[in-house]
Structure 1
Amino acid sequence: MLAASALLVSALSTPAFAASCEASVPGDFSKVGETRLSVLFWDVYDATLYSPSGEYEKNERQALKLNYLRDIDADDLIETTEEEWQKLELDSSEHDEWLTKLKDFWPDIKEGDCLLLLETKDGYAEFYQGEELLGTVESQEFTDQFLAIWLSPESRFEDERNELVGAK
């Protein structure tokens, strides 16, 4: 989860960059919740979840914004994604294909970078860095399993998950 934590690390580097990251969230989405992931002594990212209703509903489109608070290599993000799927016991014959696709477009993260996953109306996952579309994974199953890393009740970081989904 440290790698996933790294993936989710979010922090604002400058007001201009923060604004461009915010601009990637559709105007008809509202904030559901937010959290900061810290592991041991390190702040990894700030995560914010958005949805059209402003509430967490599993079957509603989601947008997950991660503002990173530290540098993270893309390979570490990929490895952590795979580890988190294993811990959540999420199986798919597509995992290798999805991870290869992510390797094609995920960047190395620098402190202050922002990544956004936007679930499309078709259930696909679009990844943005600031306002730039990095790539799309055209699979509802991928989108569900990727978001489960943060949103599943079995997520490794239960308190942070609850803050994201607005649970009391």
Structure 2
Amino acid sequence: MKHRLMSGVAGALLAAALVAPAAAASQCDAAVPQQHQLVGKTRLSVMFWDVYDARLFTDSGEFEWSRKASLNKVLVLDYLRDIKAKDLVETTGEEWQRLKFDHADQQQWLEQLQAMWPDINEGDCLALVETKEGYAEFYQGEKLLGTIKDKTFTEYFLAIWLSPESRFDYEREELVGESS
């Protein structure tokens, strides 16, 4: 009896362990259009800290930087730690500077993001869904946080992860499906 109880508990724990990652990863999956396919995924860790898991989807399941304008993309970030919205916005601006992006509307875009994005708790996700017009819709789970109706913003924002000049080479290669 004790053995059967223990194996039942072990089975339940194993089932919970197998189901938990799928449930955690699926919080923003509702924002991903059904026809989109996974291109790649990666985990960003900085020093000793895991920051987020990132997944890229396109309607073809493929990504090439030279064809970026012809692909509708979805970027999902599943956060592994708490991050303040102001820190996310500041980091976005810093990455644009590092990529040498300079656009008259950049400050306005950052202000829109600050007003739109919530503080992130471990386990939260954010998704950018590129519309057919090239606009950026941001979701947290199924909830639409807001839209920035500017194709250049969408390109600049996604370049942080997808550009060949991205800060994290290996993670970018995994995300765009170039790593083996």
- TM-score strictly above 0.5: yes
- Where does the alignment leave 5 or more consecutive residues of structure 1 unmatched? 1-11
Question: What is the letter of the counterpart of residue 39 of structure 2?
Answer: V
Other-structure match for 2:75: 64
Other-structure match for 1:43: 50
Indicate which of 94, 107, 111 corresponds to 1:83: 94
Q: For residues 143-162 of structure 1, what are the structure 2 equivalents within 5 Å?
A: 143-162=154-173
Following the alignment from structure 1 to structure 2, what is the Cα–Cα distance between the partners of residues 141 and 114? 23
Indicate which of 27, 33, 38 corresponds to 1:31: 38
Following the alignment from structure 2 to structure 1, what is the Cα–Cα distance between the partners of residues 79 and 57? 17
- Where does the alignment leave 5 or more consecutive residues of structure 2 unmatched? 1-18
Structure 1 SS opposite 2:95: helix
How far does the alpha carbon of each residue in 1:67-119 deviate from its partner, in whole angstroms, 9 at most, with x for none?
Answer: 00000000000000000000000110000110111111100000000110000
Q: For residues 1-168 of structure 1, what are the structure 2 equivalents within 5 Å?
A: 16=23, 18-57=25-64, 58-59=68-69, 60-168=71-179
Structure 1 SS opposite 2:167: coil
Following the alignment from structure 2 to structure 1, what is the Cα–Cα distance between the partners of residues 20 and 137? 23
Query: What do you get for the CA RMSD once the two structures are aligned?
Result: 1.5
Following the alignment from structure 2 to structure 1, what is the Cα–Cα distance between the partners of residues 32 and 44? 21
Question: What is the letter of the counterpart of residue 62 of structure 2?
Answer: E
Higher relative contact order (CA 8 A, sep 6+): 1
Greater helix proportion: 2
TM-superposed deviation, 1:17? 5.3
TM-superposed deviation, 1:140? 0.2
Larger Rg: 2
Following the alignment from structure 1 to structure 2, what is the Cα–Cα distance between the partners of residues 13 and 106? 26
Q: 1:36 to 1:14 in 2, by over 3 A?
A: closer
TM-score by length of 1: 0.89
Moved >2 Å (runs of 4+) = 12-20
Contact 2:136 2:148 in 1 (8 A): yes
Contact 2:27 2:125 in 1 (8 A): no
Contact 2:27 2:141 in 1 (8 A): yes
Structure 1 SS opposite 2:114: helix
TM-score by length of 2: 0.84
Contact 2:83 2:120 in 1 (8 A): yes
